[in-house]
Structure 1
């Protein structure tokens, strides 16, 4: 056993001892300590990874039993800070019960409810609140979610953000419950949050984009109301310098991720490099999420935020800087950016779609999108500015050769890669994968590259074991090892409705035929763009489930059609298509767009049009 295993074993023992001796208050704190220790694990498996599967199941069962006993204890109490902690770790809480011998939290209703004559169960509102902490959206019964929607905002907020923090919804019931929360998200707007909710709020703000519901971005509007209240509680106040037009304005880049290999760098580094030619660029980024040599090469100055810095200090630094423009390359991955973005610290505030979804706040003046993405402008609350180019990517690693030899599987199966992270694996997509396996006349073996680790790896594997006959849940690996395994696959499927971008860059570079989905929303356009850039035929991109299914089946059964795609990719200089600007003017296209916005801000704001295009006349 490792020292981490020893710590978890010890904490489980201590938790059991406290519960059996009815030291309930201590038991609650020990549970929080155990969850914290479990969340630090990054191995492919969850708790006790060196132990046999039955021993791990027994450990999950012990924890679930102790949670059940705590909740049923007559002196059970939990304070708001502890609840906020639990809401930020809700995926783990849910997984503990699913992976245990209980196979879900269903017994909690029977233990805590009042049994009626008709065999229904009645719960008090405080019981609804506590029990819901342990239910996933997939397991949540209608009777319980109806009670949840009647809770006061202060109790509803941690539950809602907890459910949106949980990134994996795999059942139609779960998607229906998620949709019901979206349609009632306004109920959280009156909540009086505590700072302890920030972690869960951040995850929920990002993860609501993965829901399969046309109105999913409404959740952000409601969360933004709560963010502003948190800003007030933390003493963070917006203050913007007066609008001015100068020759070399200051552009603050409020970056959430700036590390080598991250999708943000792969998608935007070539664009950011342009900005210094017309702006004084200052990058503000958390020290733990930046590769210093990269950030310092891209920008004139870099301000590193150290762990523990308070929001008032961040706000004071921005005010002192007096930026002419604040640019958010992405929104959704860091607490501080969401808190700052809901206030005004600059006369012009712009975002791009590093996390491809709108911010839904009136403090963002413009969302700058690449060519063709303006067709999804109807989703956005802010004005949408469409660039004149698609943009370009940079390699994950300049030294990697994508032409390396990779041994194919020779087992008579068609190996299908699903190189989409776990939050993108929607119930609708997983149902389609099951249909492919059932109806394919050739044996199919799925490889899920879900970027899952720890308890979530165990949980997803359990779900897949019940749904697929032949699959591999691939563990997280370094990029070169990931590519080697991915290249062995015959076909790749991009999940939907939230699609891929950089994952499809990878499959094109490797010569793996890919099926993609296009819906008229910005988060599903990336695959289509990449495949257009490399010249792949349009029939590989579908706009409905049935066409997607038929395209996947064609690539699985038609060796000639599949090989034609492989041969086309081999004959194409994919690196040149993706990593070099297609036109000379694209060398400055991104900075020209920012300069155009900066010089024409008043006219853009005065225009009644929602979608405007860089360089074109600005209509009144």
Structure 2
């Protein structure tokens, strides 16, 4: 089977055999269009491949696909138009996954064939102008080539910027070369974006991904790119006639809060962390949610007095029109960056008070955000935020277990769930692919090598299937030979697998929230690392709320390694921690609190926005 099914309303499905036939007969235009169709199918299916393929058949399918792509792009007769270039950059992550899932690893061999010599020697590109766009499309994040960004900018400024946006939008930046080049691009790109007058010719469909994914980098100035993205987005909005709203909202018995939702279904992490405060806020506010069609499920809709759906391609304009109709007192963003909706909207003034929360815990640099709401025990260095920081009580954000959640019951008298000393110790790593990086994987490898007992690392990676899983598994197991990378699975199966593990390690620098709920609810002790940003401090805050020992919270990679090895090597201590966790009710402490404090604090912020009032009550 070599066809990828399509929606019945769409054009015919992608056929690998047909694509190969077109490539080898040099029907370039038809082959390019069919390749784009195949990449779009992968994107729509989140990387899923044709059903029923065995492991060997899947590897064969992807190797054929990568080889055919290489043959197409190496053909001098195949040229990429500007429109095609933008489409390919938008879908570059899937080209990267196809090559990354095979022994090729990347497309550098195709680039070498294009150039006749390796590009970048002496700061000059050894490419014809016609091949420059093909080079950018094939220069995927795992490429080992040093991209001469300044030389590329001199040749074609928008191609250089577009390439950086596409690479920063990738969901897998795991190899040492990919991570190093991400840091380079985040230093280089803000200065170049500042020189562009508009977004023409750039892959704007993934601009929000580049905006958000900078949070997973290491440098202190990694968020600077957001300033220029926001400037260009606001400029486009104004050019499209979408301006700030100047009309004052009417006085109401309950002020109206319009909540911009990027993803909000019962299984989703944002629902798990933010639905309780929103439900409680209905006592004080008329609550309206707005989201893309399909982003809010039936359970999540019950949080709101009313939920409004938007549809592409003009969803942002629809949201602005809705705000003009409702005239809200407050616009609230539980997160900014997960979808193409919230990032542009955060650059407009649509209500007297506009707030963001740490659903994606990072600064926005958005002119339309008045304050960032942050739990008090997760705040490190407030200067990490461009916004005014308003702290919430540590027990304000009450977690909600997702459908299928089942905690492991306490078992008095049982010292350890896994007493067999002969089998390898199973270490759970719960993370999205975005949270994995070369530094964290190198630390895992050293832990596995230095522990006195054999270790297996079990990576449970959310929303990772098909070609994305195949590529990530190849990369992770190359870095950590003891790793097992699990494909996405139903939540109940995931919890059952966690129950078979002995401890967990949280990724760094971008840590976990719901992953801690899942692991601790199964009685697992673990190790985390803290830092100055909220996304580095959430883990430590949850560890302390759960009364886990301080030595499990590391301040640097050395402490992290020592704590992990200590936990692995000390079977009795690990069993005692499991007994303590289960005796304390697992993650139950995170399901309790005072979510009503959120509404009270927002009410006072609204009063402050209207006129001077005393400090916010605690």
Structure 1 position 436, deviation (Å): 1.2
* 8 Å contact kept, 1:5–1:47: yes
**In structure 1, distance between residues paired with 2:246 and 2:608:** 19
Q: Is the 8 A contact 1:238 1:315 kept in 2?
A: no
1:161 shift after superposition: 1.8
Pairing 1:487–2:499 present? yes
Assess if the C-alpha contact under 8 Å between 1:156 and 1:188 holds in 2: no
Who is 1:158 aligned against? 162
Contact 1:282–1:303 (CA under 8 A) maintained in structure 2 = yes
- Which is further off, 239-248 or 200-209? 239-248
Q: Which residue of 1 aligns with 2:384?
A: 379
Q: Which residue of 2 aligns with 1:424?
A: 435
Comparing 361-370 with 57-66, greater Cα deviation is found at 57-66
Q: 200, 203, 206: which is aligned to 2:212? A: 206
Partner residue of 1:94 out of 88, 93, 96:
96
Q: Which residue of 1 aligns with 2:475?
A: 463
The Cα shift of 1:156 comes to 2.6
In 2, the alpha carbon distance for the partners of 1:46 and 1:117 equals 33
Task: Name the residue aligned to 1:219.
Answer: 225
SS in 2 for 1:476: coil
Aligned CA-pair RMSD: 3.0
1:413 aligns with 2:415: no
Q: Which of the numbers 31, 38, 42 marks the counterpart of 1:34?
A: 38
Which residue number corresponds to residue 50 of structure 1?
53
Aligned equivalent of 1:608: none
| 1: CA distance, partners of 2:573 / 2:490 | 32
- Residue 219 (structure 1) shift: 1.8
Distance 1:56 1:9 in 2: 18
* Structure 2: distance between partners of 1:217 and 1:604: 32
Distance 1:188 1:169 in 2: 22
User: Offset of 1:556 from its aligned partner?
Assistant: 0.5
**Higher alpha-carbon deviation: 503-512 or 97-106:** 97-106
1:438 paired to 2:449 = yes
Distance 1:52 1:372 in 2: 46
Whole-angstrom distance in 1 between the partners of 2:49 and 2:355: 40
Alignment match, 2:143: 139
SS of alignment partner, residue 333 of structure 1: coil
- State the alpha-carbon separation in 2 of the partners of residues 251 and 10 from structure 1: 44
Shift of 1:358: 1.5
Query: Alignment partner for residue 359 of structure 1, among 361, 364, 373?
Result: 364
Find the counterpart in structure 2 of residue 269 from structure 1.
275
Alignment partners' CA distance in 1, 2:50 and 2:419? 31
> Structure 2 matches for 1:55-74, cutoff 5 A?
55-74=57-76
2:537 is aligned with 1:525 = yes
**Is the Cα contact below 8 Å between 1:193 and 1:229 reproduced in 2?**
no
Q: Is 2:571 the counterpart of 1:568? A: no
Cα deviation for residue 42 of structure 1 reads: 5.4
Distance 1:404 1:304, change over 3 A: farther
Task: Give the TM-score of the pair, scaled to structure 2.
Answer: 0.90
- Give the TM-score normalised by the residue count of structure 1: 0.90
1:427, distance to aligned residue in structure 2 (A) = 0.9
Q: Counterpart in 2 of 1:331?
A: 336
- Alignment of 1:4 onto 2:4: yes
Structure 1 CA distance, aligned partners of 2:405 and 2:571?
32
Partners of 2:612 and 2:152 in 1: how far apart?
A: 43
Aligned residue pairs: how many?
603
Contact 2:2–2:17 (CA under 8 A) maintained in structure 1: no
Aligned to 1:350: 355
The aligned runs of 1:228-377 (5 Å cut-off) are: 228-232=234-238, 234-242=240-248, 248-295=254-301, 297-308=302-313, 310-377=315-382
Deviation at 1:432, TM superposition (A): 0.3
| Cα distance change, pair 243–67 in 1 and its aligned pair in 2 (3 A) | same
Other-structure match for 1:25: 29
* Aligned equivalent of 1:112, options 111, 114, 117: 114
| 1:119-161, Cα deviation, whole Å (9 max, x unpaired) | 9872346534421322233324225445445454422332122
Question: How many angstroms apart in 2 are the aligned matches of 1:313 and 1:196?
Answer: 23
Contact 1:256 1:331 in 2 (8 A): yes
Report the more deviating stretch, 278-287 or 519-528: 278-287
Q: 1:151, 1:426 → 2: CA distance?
A: 32
Structure 2 CA distance, aligned partners of 1:381 and 1:174?
Answer: 28
**What SS does structure 1 have at the residue aligned with 2:291?**
strand
Task: State the distance in 2 between where 1:568 and 1:409 align.
Answer: 17
Give the counterpart of 2:562 among 532, 546, 550: 550
| Alignment correspondent of 1:609 | none
**In 2, Cα distance between the equivalents of 1:142 and 1:598?**
51
Kept in 1, the 8 Å contact 2:4–2:38? The answer is no
Whole-Å Cα distance in 2 between the matches of residues 553 and 245 of structure 1?
Answer: 60
Answering whether residue 598 of structure 2 is matched by residue 590 of structure 1, we say yes
* Distance in 2, Cα, partners of 1:562 & 1:443: 16
Give yes or no for the alignment of 1:393 onto 2:396: no
8 Å CA contact 2:70–2:110 kept in 1: the answer is: yes
> Runs of 5+ in structure 1 lacking a partner?
606-611
Decide whether the 8 Å contact of 1:499 with 1:524 is kept in 2. Answer: yes
How far apart, in 1, do the equivalents of 2:446 and 2:611 lie?
52
Q: Distance in 1 between matches of 2:136 and 2:308?
A: 41
Which shifted more, 31-40 or 306-315? 306-315
Q: Which runs of 5+ in 2 are unaligned?
A: none
Q: What CA distance in whole angstroms lies between the structure 1 residues aligned with 2:406 and 2:357?
A: 28
Q: Write the deviation string for residues 88-146 of structure 1: whole angstroms up to 9, x where unpaired.
A: 22221112223345342122232122549999872346534421322233324225445
